[in-house]
Structure 1
Amino acid sequence: MSGAPTRVFIARLAGVAVFDPAGDQVGRVRDVVAALRLAPRPPRVLGLVVEVAGRRTVFLPITRVTVFEADAVIFDGRLNVRRFEKRESETLVIGQMLDRTVRFRDTGEPVAVVDVAMEPTRTRDWLVGKVAVRRRTGRGLRKRGESLVVNWDDVEGFSAVEYGQGAAGLIAAFERLKPADLANIMHELPEKRRAEVAVALDDERLADILEELPEDDQIEILGKLGVDRAADVLEAMGPDDAADLLGDLPTEQREQLLTLMEPHEAAPVRRLLTYPDHSAGGLMTTAPVVVPPDATVAEALALIRRPDMNPALAAQVYVCRPPTATPTGRYLGTVHFQKLLREPPPTLVSGIVDAELDTLRPTMSLEAVAMFLATYNLVAGAVVDENGHLLGSVTIDDVLDHLLPEDWREAVMDAAAEESADRDPEEEALRGDTQ
């Protein structure tokens, strides 16, 4: 393998860009697939899990990789776009090996795995030959927390089922990922490992990830957290996303979680649960950007500049008489962010508000909401009740989530997959011979 280093630490590959021979990026490394073998033989590396367009993961055989660099992986250009599915005999190195507790074979001392390294052989195979570990307790003159790299056959315990594995190393490997990308990785993990990662994440990060996961994964993870932690995570979610998740739970479980949430956090979620799923009320968020009429342009811009603000919500502010928490006082109109950018900072928003734009009613259907946004070229619309109070805002991303088929991303790649053979002979040979 030209350009191949003598050792590659696998956790450092997380998120590294993958390029074809022409220099075009096709995706990013999400994990490495290995096959454990009878001790003391080191695991054989089978290939990389690569995330390509549409957040789809595919398998890239290790034999097709030509170069490993610090910030790039280059392969020979041949890539089967069938969705990757892990087999029972295979292990995801980043997803399943990091954070494990193993033991030194000669002393029995427990150590934590922080990384593993693969090394090439003369036959162009790659084997997991080294393990980076951290001591959990002091031994003799050695310091607590000492890290060292040892041979694979110096430790044992990778094949045992471990409970309470932890996930600090895996989370560190992917700490720069956006929530949607980390959600995709968690979806591919075994159920046990997925629960361990969820437990290790802080409430805000887990809330962001849950919003990107399929419904079944959301319910599964929430059930593994315990009711107190689950209530905390629901509080950190957007009210509309929390309502969607709670709406899929049995009535008794839903009410238990709502009771454990802070009253001011539970109140908007309870309101959203009263609306049908595919109505404007069921789609809306109860936390749009709302300002009073005496607010200045500078104050409004400061609110939509917040880094955690959804881009669709940040596209406009709603002007309402106090109170400005939904349901608000009387709704006066909308000011789009482009209008804010054109006006002097001291200008009052009441002087530039668009009071002529129609509003949505909470009972409007999904199709009616979509047509409203399309008609007025909007990315969000105000939901107002019959008394003129702002209840919330429906954003285009929520509309698309409900209009498109649940598997639309996979369908895009499936069309491309039909152009290639259902079975890749080289991949089948590599993954079929793991001994």
Structure 2
Amino acid sequence: MTMPTRVYIARLAGLAVFDPNGDQVGRVRDAVARLRGTSRPPQVVGLVAEMPMRRQIFLSINRITSIDAEAVVLGSGTLNLRRFEKRANELLVLADLLDRRVLIESTGRAGVVVDVAMESNRSGEWSLSRVAVREQTGRLSRRGHLHQLEWDLVQGLIGVPETRGTANLLAVLADMRPADLANALQELPDTRRNEVAAALDDARLADVLGELPEHDQVEILAALGRERAADILEEMDPDDAADLLNELPLPEQDVLLDLMQPDEADPVRQLLKYKPGTAGSVMTSEPVILPPDATVAEALARIREPQLSPAVAAQIFVARAPMATPTGRYLGIVHFQRLLREPPAELLGAMVVNDLDPLQPTTPLPEITRRMAMYDLVAMPVVDANNRLVGAVTVDDVLDQSLPRDWRDRTGRAEGDPDG
């Protein structure tokens, strides 16, 4: 691998970062440039890398020994694990410049930034050198000409931008997992965060909202407008939608629930009735439920559905009809490992396990945690007084409730943060 003299920064996003021993330490998320008081282009001082547990750290440009299409490699030295915080005289190239509306000096026409290149001089100093700008044509059916321009031939790169598009930043973020995308959104200014969130499709935004702190969820939902907010709530898992609505005033909850489709709103309304900190308040009302006469083949097909989380797909809950919660009489569980060992035509009723008492909707969280830990479970059924299945508590539900309330918040210090 070699160190090129010019690198387009959007192409670095998501690349793995390796230390000299070949161990991966994170992935590139952005580049940091320092503004200079003269007409000189900003100096690139380093990259932002995201490590496990979503911690973003600063990598000095002087530590980087090679860059190619596959990876960024660091030289020897101690890695500073302090959480990255942008300074007042710095900009994040991708977050601050992509999709910015600018003016092309040579033509006097408006354009949109789609990428920015950094370039090194003979002394090894890196600066933002060229800007890829797509000219705006005003025609929806035609893409404007793409210009590769020197930094000083583009007007409007520095300063507070007007409301701008999101297509190029979304392209950079497209392959991120929902949790990582939520993390990236928290690094953006509030206005920019809301613009990017609004540009996501409903299903993608629903997944991302579930990974954001409550105050960010509320602010994004408010910025969307009520009709779009109701659409997003319909896409969310009922328990996540109920958690989000619990952060809103009761009148606003009622408005949004009334805007939702009745079959989507009803399970959310039911969850909102349960007391916080109980099984009813943290359970999902849509576990995998099948009748006892369903076959192993049918069960395996059901848990293969890609929208199911691993914790939900780890077991089948067996009950009498109806299959929607609250079901008929609850019969027991069949774990997916058992499904893998049985003939495809075998009936679930012949392999049901019911040797553990189900939870009640009023069971408190500490008791749920104790029982799941004791029996090494990833999910437990929740039944009502008539032994009807009303939902299931999964291990991710328990973790989410057991961690500090602000554990997803990147703007402050969660309890137990070693940097706090």
Alignment partner, residue 362 of structure 1: 361
Alignment partner, residue 216 of structure 1: 215
User: What per-residue deviation string (whole Å, max 9, x for no partner) do you get for residues 289-325 of structure 1?
Assistant: 0111221110111111112211001110111111101
Alignment partner, residue 22 of structure 2: 23
Q: Secondary structure at the match of 1:312?
A: helix
Asked if the contact 1:81/1:413 (under 8 Å) is kept, the reply is no
Shift of 1:163: 3.2
Q: How far apart, in 2, do the equivalents of 1:380 and 1:211 lie? A: 19
Shift of 1:400: 1.1
* AA partner of residue 68 (structure 1): I
Q: How far apart, in 2, do the equivalents of 1:26 and 1:208 lie? A: 26
Q: How far apart, in 1, do the equivalents of 2:80 and 2:23 lie? A: 16
Q: Identity, % of aligned pairs?
A: 57
Q: How far apart, in 2, do the equivalents of 1:75 and 1:381 lie? A: 46
Asked if the contact 2:9/2:94 (under 8 Å) is kept, the reply is yes
Alignment partner, residue 179 of structure 1: 178
**1:422-433 superposed matches below 5 A:** none
User: What per-residue deviation string (whole Å, max 9, x for no partner) do you get for residues 364-393 of structure 1?
Assistant: 000011112122221000000010111001
User: What per-residue deviation string (whole Å, max 9, x for no partner) do you get for residues 144-163 of structure 1?
Assistant: 42223111112111124233
Alignment partner, residue 428 of structure 1: none
**1:130-169 superposed matches below 5 A:** 130-137=130-137, 144-169=143-168
User: What per-residue deviation string (whole Å, max 9, x for no partner) do you get for residues 199-223 of structure 1?
Assistant: 1111111111111111111111111
Alignment partner, residue 229 of structure 1: 228
| Correspondence 1:342 to 2:310 | no
Which ranges of structure 2 fall in alignment gaps of 5 or more residues? none
Measured at CA, do residues 413 and 135 of structure 1 come closer, stay the same or move farther in structure 2, by a change above 3 Å?
Answer: farther
Q: How far apart, in 2, do the equivalents of 1:341 and 1:233 lie? A: 36
Aligned pair count? Answer: 413
Which ranges of structure 1 fall in alignment gaps of 5 or more residues? 419-435
Shift of 1:190: 1.1
Shift of 1:38: 5.1
Asked if the contact 1:130/1:149 (under 8 Å) is kept, the reply is yes
Alignment partner, residue 80 of structure 1: 80
Asked if the contact 1:39/1:153 (under 8 Å) is kept, the reply is no
Q: How far apart, in 2, do the equivalents of 1:312 and 1:254 lie? A: 28
Shift of 1:165: 1.1
User: Normalising to structure 1: TM-score of the pair?
Assistant: 0.91
Alignment partner, residue 101 of structure 2: 101
Q: How far apart, in 2, do the equivalents of 1:144 and 1:200 lie? A: 19
Q: How far apart, in 2, do the equivalents of 1:321 and 1:164 lie? A: 54
* AA partner of residue 127 (structure 1): S
Alignment partner, residue 372 of structure 2: 373
* AA partner of residue 256 (structure 1): V
Q: Secondary structure at the match of 1:194?
A: helix
Shift of 1:84: 1.0
* AA partner of residue 31 (structure 1): D
Q: Secondary structure at the match of 2:310?
A: coil
Alignment partner, residue 112 of structure 2: 112
Asked if the contact 2:404/2:415 (under 8 Å) is kept, the reply is no
**Larger deviation, residues 130-139 vs 351-360:** 130-139
Asked if the contact 2:213/2:406 (under 8 Å) is kept, the reply is no
User: What per-residue deviation string (whole Å, max 9, x for no partner) do you get for residues 99-143 of structure 1?
Assistant: 11111123320111111110012222111101112122179xxx7
Alignment partner, residue 430 of structure 1: none
Q: How far apart, in 2, do the equivalents of 1:205 and 1:330 lie? A: 35
**1:300-339 superposed matches below 5 A:** 300-339=299-338
| Correspondence 1:268 to 2:267 | yes
Measured at CA, do residues 39 and 231 of structure 1 come closer, stay the same or move farther in structure 2, by a change above 3 Å?
Answer: farther
* AA partner of residue 120 (structure 1): S
Q: How far apart, in 1, do the equivalents of 2:253 and 2:415 lie? A: 35
Alignment partner, residue 60 of structure 1: 59
* AA partner of residue 111 (structure 1): G
Shift of 1:89: 2.2
Asked if the contact 1:279/1:363 (under 8 Å) is kept, the reply is yes
User: Normalising to structure 2: TM-score of the pair?
Assistant: 0.94
Asked if the contact 2:320/2:330 (under 8 Å) is kept, the reply is yes
Shift of 1:40: 4.0
Q: How far apart, in 2, do the equivalents of 1:37 and 1:414 lie? A: 34
Asked if the contact 1:64/1:78 (under 8 Å) is kept, the reply is no
Alignment partner, residue 433 of structure 1: none
* AA partner of residue 269 (structure 1): V
Asked if the contact 2:404/2:414 (under 8 Å) is kept, the reply is no
Q: Which runs of 4+ in 1 moved over 6 A?
A: 409-413
Asked if the contact 1:287/1:392 (under 8 Å) is kept, the reply is yes
Asked if the contact 1:99/1:114 (under 8 Å) is kept, the reply is yes
* AA partner of residue 130 (structure 1): R
